[in-house]
Amino acid sequence: MRHAASIQQCIQAPGGKAASGKSSILAFFLMLAVFVSGTVHAQVPDRKSPPALGPTPLLRLPAIQRFQLSNGLPVVIMEKHNVPVVQVNLLVNAGSAMDANNKSGLASLTVDMMDEGAGQRDALELADAIDFLGASIRTNAGMHTSSITLHTPLGKIDEALPLMADIAMRPTFPATELGRKQKERLTTLLQWHDEPRAIASVLFNRTLFGAQHPYGIPTLGSERSIHAFVVDDLRKFHSLFFHAGNATIVVVGDVVPQTILPKFEAAFGSWGRKPASKASWTRPKQVRQRQIYLVDKPEAAQSEIRIGRIGAERLTEDYFPLVVMNTILGGSFTSRLNQNLREQHGYTYGAGSSFDFRLLPGPFLAGSAVQSAVTDKALTEFMNELTRILQPSSDEELTRAKNYLALRYPRSFQTASQIAGELGEVVTYSLPDDYFNTYVQRVLSVTKEDVVRVAKKYLDPEAVAIIIVGDRKVIEKGLRDLNLGPVNNLSIEDVLGKPPVVESKN
Binning pLDDT at 50, 70 and 90, where does residue 17 land? Answer: very low
**pLDDT tens per residue, range 109-120:** 999 999 999 999
- Of the candidates 357, 288, 369, 363, which has an alpha carbon nearest to the alpha carbon of residue 323? 357
Helices and strands in the chain: count of H runs, count of E runs? 19, 14
Q: Given a cut of 70, is residue 16 above it in pLDDT?
A: no
Q: Which of 60-64, 131-135, 295-299, 345-349 has the lowest mean pLDDT?
A: 60-64
421 against 40, higher pLDDT: 421
**pLDDT tens per residue, range 283-332:** 889 999 999 999 999 999 999 999 999 999 999 999 999 999 999 999 99
Instruction: Return the exposure string of 218-253: e unless at least 16 CB atoms fall within 10 Å of the residue's CB, then b.
Output: bbbbbbebbbbbeeebbeebbeebbbbebbbbbbbb
How much is the pTM?
0.87
| Res 419: pLDDT | 97
- Burial (CB count within 10 angstroms: exposed 0-12, middle 13-18, buried 19+), residue 27: middle
| Res 18: pLDDT | 45
| Res 141: pLDDT | 97
| Res 21: pLDDT | 54
| Res 1: pLDDT | 43
| Res 79: pLDDT | 96
Instruction: Tally Cβ neighbours within 10 Å of residue 53.
Output: 9
In angstroms, the CA 345 to CA 330 distance is 16
Q: Given a cut of 50, is residue 57 above it in pLDDT?
A: yes
**pLDDT tens per residue, range 199-223:** 999 999 999 999 999 999 999 999 9
Domains along the chain with CATH numbers: 2-41 (no CATH), 65-268 (3.30.830.10), 291-484 (3.30.830.10)
Tell me the mean pLDDT in the region 188-193: 97
- Rounded alpha-carbon distances, angstroms, from residue 341 to 128, 391, 483: 49, 20, 21
Q: Given a cut of 50, is residue 10 above it in pLDDT?
A: no
What is the β-pairing status of strands 74-79 and 247-253? parallel
Tell me the mean pLDDT in the region 457-480: 98
Q: What is the DSSP string of 237-275?
A: HHHHH-SGGGEEEEEEES--HHHHHHHHHHHHTT----P
Binning pLDDT at 50, 70 and 90, where does residue 52 land? Answer: confident
| Res 7: pLDDT | 39
| Res 13: pLDDT | 43
Task: Name residues whose C-beta falls within 8 Å of residue 302's C-beta, 6 or more positions apart in sequence.
Answer: 196, 369, 370, 371, 372, 470
Average pLDDT, the chain: 91
| Res 8: pLDDT | 44
Per cent of the chain over pLDDT 70 is 90
Tell me the mean pLDDT in the region 245-250: 97
105 against 32, higher pLDDT: 105
Q: Which of 36-45, 70-79, 353-362 has the lowest mean pLDDT?
A: 36-45
